[in-house]
Structure 1
Amino acid sequence: MGTLRTARHRGAAVALLLPVIIGMAGCGAEDKAGTGKTGAGKAVYGQPLAEQFQAATDATRDAGTAAFVSTLTYGAAGGDAVQEAKGSQDYERGTALAELGLSAGRHFPAKALEFLRAPGPDGKQTVATAEDDVYVRQGDSAWLKYTPEAVNELGEATGVIAAHAAGDVAPYSGTLADLVPRVIPREKPEPREDGSRVYRLTALPEVAAELLPRDLQSLQHDWGTDPVPLTVRLDADGRLAAATADLGPVLARLHEQKVLVEVKQLRATYRLGDFGKPVKAGGPDQGGRPVEDAREVLAPLGSMKDGRCAGTGGTGLGGTAVVRPVDCADRHDLRVLAQVKVDRTLPGKQDIANGDVYARVACERALADAPEAWRRGGADGYGLVGSSRVGSSFGMGGGGAETTVTGDYTCYLRTA
């Protein structure tokens, strides 16, 4: 699925971002010509053009509550894949509740779909926010609470969760709502018969790229200069009703990294409605479901000792970077085989992307040396997680160029 950073995130990593919602534009007393001289929209439309989006953000918050739908749509020849967040927001309390999910057409490219599914758990997920804290729940499980402290301790993999923490713009972050007050309209909007107005403008590609899930953001650091087309609709009362961004320029930069090459279109949308109506019930402070602190029940796989076991479910995350440690006598998905370091210096300037190949050699050696009881539990060989850095330098005393590869990896046995 993240990640528009806002001031209230306090360093809690971003991330994934999935985005948008059902739109039901409100009807105000504004005149049909859309002059903004009468009715509730005057507080927005009476402002100078350059200040109207900031005023619209304030008017939206002043509504108290709203329903939202946020989507990120990946278009391919075989159909679309859609990451969606749908729920409600309480601006006064700084809380939100949303259902997150990924759906895809039957003929959407399998390789691209596997890539999109990797960062998150299978199936739908419920996310709740309460200011800086984010709660996640899968099915009927307990709520898992990610505080900023938990995010800092558990590492970058939690960015896909932290991306949604309440910000200055909205209680659910990581959507086009966060982007709107950061762009300035230059041309007068198009008035509509219902009193709403449509603005057509562009956003900087590096800003629009923050709408991408965290794992996609990390693949590119130069998003180029091609502007991203953006359409924003404010309702008759000047509140944000809908926004759409054509992320084609951002997708083109991903294609340069050989990422999602079968995806030909990328679009983000956001819709708001039901302003002022009671929000959806079912948050972590309702229903009596238990709440677990992520810091107490989860751990980075890289921090676990050799031989320890863990489960990968119930983290709100995909992958194995963050796991739930358990006793090896209990049900588990993996066992830590070894923590290994890569530290290699090679002559000359080498064309090496990372240290994975050296880590695999170390993992195979650890597998050969592992107790037989561990190997019997292995269901599908070993896996590894970790990261590395590659650098070039000149040797001491005027020597030739050298390439260094350093990194930390965890080798683990899959047991289920």
Structure 2
Amino acid sequence: MGTLKTVRRRRAMIALLLPVLIGTAGCGAGEKAPTGEPVYGQPLAEQFHAATDATRAAGTAAFVSTLTYGTTGGDAVQRARGTQDYERGTSRADTGLSAPSTFPKGTLELLSGAAPEGEQALATAGDDVYVRNGRSAWLKYTPEAVSRFGEATAEVAGHAAGDAAPYSGTLADLVPRAIPREAPERRADGSRVYRVTLLPEIAGELLPRHLRGAGDAWGTESVGLTVKLDAEGRLASASADLAPLLTALHDQGMLVGVKRLRAAYELTAFGEPVKDGGPSDGARVEDAGEVLAPVATLKAGRCAATGGTGLGTEEIVRPVDCADRHDIRVLGQVEVDRSFPGQRDVGSGDRYGKEECRRADAAAPKDWRRGAPYADGFSVQGESEVSVSVTMDGKPGSGTETTVKGSYTCYLRSA
């Protein structure tokens, strides 16, 4: 009797378990589990390059890129949020700089060079970059325009489509340049987390152009980079602690109040349809090379607007009729060419440019100031070079001489 009861119980257990086992097998047969074999099957040192290929193969993705500056008065965040179409080589993002009222004002003004007009839209299509503020026309920066305007366009041009992604200037560009040395941490969801390092000069490429002046002074301390790849080997996120860069920046008097500096990047919505909302949607487009000009090329009396360029500089402006809304009126273009006997420490030479502009201001028609509510005084933009020459030919006038040469634009600014 005891043996019979045991057999019946075992048959009952088998009967109960059989449907469960069959159901599990049926679920697996209908779906293929995601695999990152094309990435994780590569040698460790090559997995980041393979991950970049796998990410692009997804076709599309949404992204968020941030650069956070931490101070005792709170954090300022430079952010780009948008979508990328890898197949078409296009992207669209809303960009801007946000900070609490307690953030140091001087530091915020310095950071604003990379986000000059608060919130703005930015789109890329291959080598072309488009900028838009509000409902204005898209302003198209072609490689030709960038070449013409030079370094002043560097911050915008730096987002043109690259090898890693259609929107450049993020950690996505730097991940393929890092080499994993240690096996990644494997997560339960199939993702993997790598911890690697970057050379400081490479990590410095994430900073706005006007903050990259440290050059060879970045030092030797490496920057920590954390990279997460999803179960299919695609780039899911990356973050970098850029604190090692602050020493060099502080030494040059930049971002002195910033104690923490961090970059982050996240990708989601792989393969989902992308709503363009960019210049290809039929919106009005203007060629920056045709409607903008260097302020240094404007004649005395000309007016211009600085807004809407997306550049955060007064070097490149939109020339307009003085009867239209404007915030700059040119007093004149002046040259500095002075020589002094001996070797002198004359600094940058800008003071001589200001002297010439003072003369231009005094000579300007008085009615120029009636065209808009201009601020008192005048503004100066330009640069000069200081050189020291030595002649030893024994003739009169030979010896050491210091020369200052430069070009400056003198202009009125709206109050």
Normalising by structure 1, report the TM-score: 0.87
> After the TM superposition, which residues 8-23 of structure 1 pair with which residues of structure 2 at under 5 Å, given as runs?
none
How far, CA to CA, are the matches of 1:345 and 1:169 in structure 2? Answer: 51
Specify the SS of the correspondent of 1:280.
coil
Give the equivalent residue in structure 2 for 1:405: 404
**2:82 matched to 1:87?**
yes
Partner Cα separation in structure 2 for residue 194 and residue 203 of structure 1 = 27
Conserved in 2, the CA contact under 8 Å of 1:56 and 1:239?
yes
Tell me whether 1:243 sits opposite 2:242 in the alignment: no
CA-to-aligned-CA distance 1:334-380 (integer Å, 9 cap, x gap) = 11111122233344544454222111111111101111112444611
Displacement of 1:400 in angstroms is 5.6
CA distance in structure 2 between the partners assigned to 1:185 and 1:386 by the alignment: 46
Q: Does 1:383 align with 2:379?
A: yes
**Aligned partners of 1:43 and 1:402: how far apart in 2?**
67
- The answer to whether the Cα contact below 8 Å between 1:392 and 1:401 also exists between their aligned partners in 2 is yes
Change (3 A) 1:316 1:349: same
Hey, what does 1:289 align to over in structure 2?
283
CA 1:391–1:72 in structure 2 vs 1: closer, same or farther (change >3 Å)? farther
Question: 2 CA distance for matches of 1:72 and 1:298?
Answer: 29
Aligned residue for 2:180, secondary structure, equals coil
Partner of 2:364: 370
Change (3 A) 1:352 1:67: farther
**Cα deviation per residue 1:104-132 (whole Å; 9 max; x = unaligned)?**
02211111011111354322000010000
Residue 254 of structure 1 deviates from its aligned partner by 0.8
> Residues 272-299 of structure 1: CA distance to partner in whole angstroms, max 9, x if unpaired?
111001113301111x321101111100
**How far, CA to CA, are the matches of 1:251 and 1:259 in structure 2?**
9
Query: Which of the numbers 295, 298, 316 marks the counterpart of 2:292?
Result: 298
- Aligned residue pairs total 378
Q: Give a deviation string over 1:62-121, Cα, whole Å, max 9, x none.
A: 000000000010000111000000000000000000000100022111110111113543
| Segment drifting more, 203-212 vs 277-286 | 277-286
Q: Which has the higher helix share?
A: 2
Long gaps (5+) in structure 1: 1-37
Instruction: Show the 5 A alignment for 1:318-397.
Output: 318-377=312-371, 379-380=374-375, 381-397=377-393
Q: Would the aligned equivalents of 1:344 and 1:406 in 2 still touch at CA under 8 Å?
A: yes
Q: In the alignment, is the contact (CA less than 8 A) between 1:195 and 1:235 conserved in 2?
A: yes
d(CA) in 1 for partners of 2:345, 2:248: 22
* Alpha-carbon spacing, 1:119–1:46, altered in 2? closer, same or farther (3 Å): closer
Q: Which residue of 1 aligns with 2:254?
A: 259
Instruction: Check the 8 A contact 1:71/1:82 in 2, yes or no.
Output: yes
RMSD in angstroms over aligned alpha carbons? Answer: 1.8
Q: For 1:203-258, what per-residue CA distance to the aligned partner results, in whole angstroms no more than 9, with x for missing partners?
A: 11111111011111245453222211111111111111111111112121111101
Q: Against the structure 1 CA distance between its residues 396 and 233, is the aligned structure 2 distance closer, same or farther, given a 3 Å change threshold?
A: farther
The answer to whether the aligner puts 1:161 opposite 2:156 as a matched pair is yes
The 1-side partners of 2:259 and 2:344 are apart by 34
Q: 1:394 to 1:245 in 2, by over 3 A?
A: farther
Matches within 5 A, 1:105-254: 105-218=100-213, 220-254=215-249
User: What's the offset of the Cα at 1:304?
Assistant: 1.0
- CA contact 1:367–1:375 (8 Å) conserved in 2: no
Q: 1:54 aligns to what SS in structure 2? A: helix
The 10-residue stretch of structure 1 (325-334 or 165-174) with the greater mean CA deviation from structure 2: 325-334
Distance in 1 separating the partners of 2:301 and 2:136: 27
SS at match of 1:73: strand
Aligned residue type for 1:405? V
Distance 2:157 2:165 in 1: 14
C-alpha offsets along residues 355-411 of structure 1, whole Å, 9 cap, x if unaligned? 221111111111011111124446112111122333444344486654433322111
Deviations along 1:292-322, one digit per CA (max 9) or x if unpaired, are 0111110010111111111111212222111
Q: 2:291–2:319: 8 Å Cα contact kept in structure 1?
A: yes
2:274 matched to which residue of 1?
Answer: 279
Supply the AA of the counterpart residue of 1:389: E
Q: Equivalent residue of 1:81, what SS?
A: strand
CA distance in 1, matches of 2:210, 2:368: 32
Larger Rg: 2
193-202 vs 371-380, greater mean Cα deviation: 371-380
Letter in structure 2 aligned against 1:388:
S
Is there any run of 5+ residues in structure 2 with no aligned partner, and where? 1-32
Match of 1:45 among 40, 43, 47: 40
TM-score, normalized by length of structure 2? 0.87
Q: Provide Cα deviations, 1:1-51, integer angstroms capped at 9, x if missing partner.
A: xxxxxxxxxxxxxxxxxxxxxxxxxxxxxxxxxxxxx85201111111110
Sequence identity percentage: 65
Cα distance change on mapping 1:219 and 1:372 into 2, 3 Å: farther
Indicate the SS of the match to 2:367.
helix
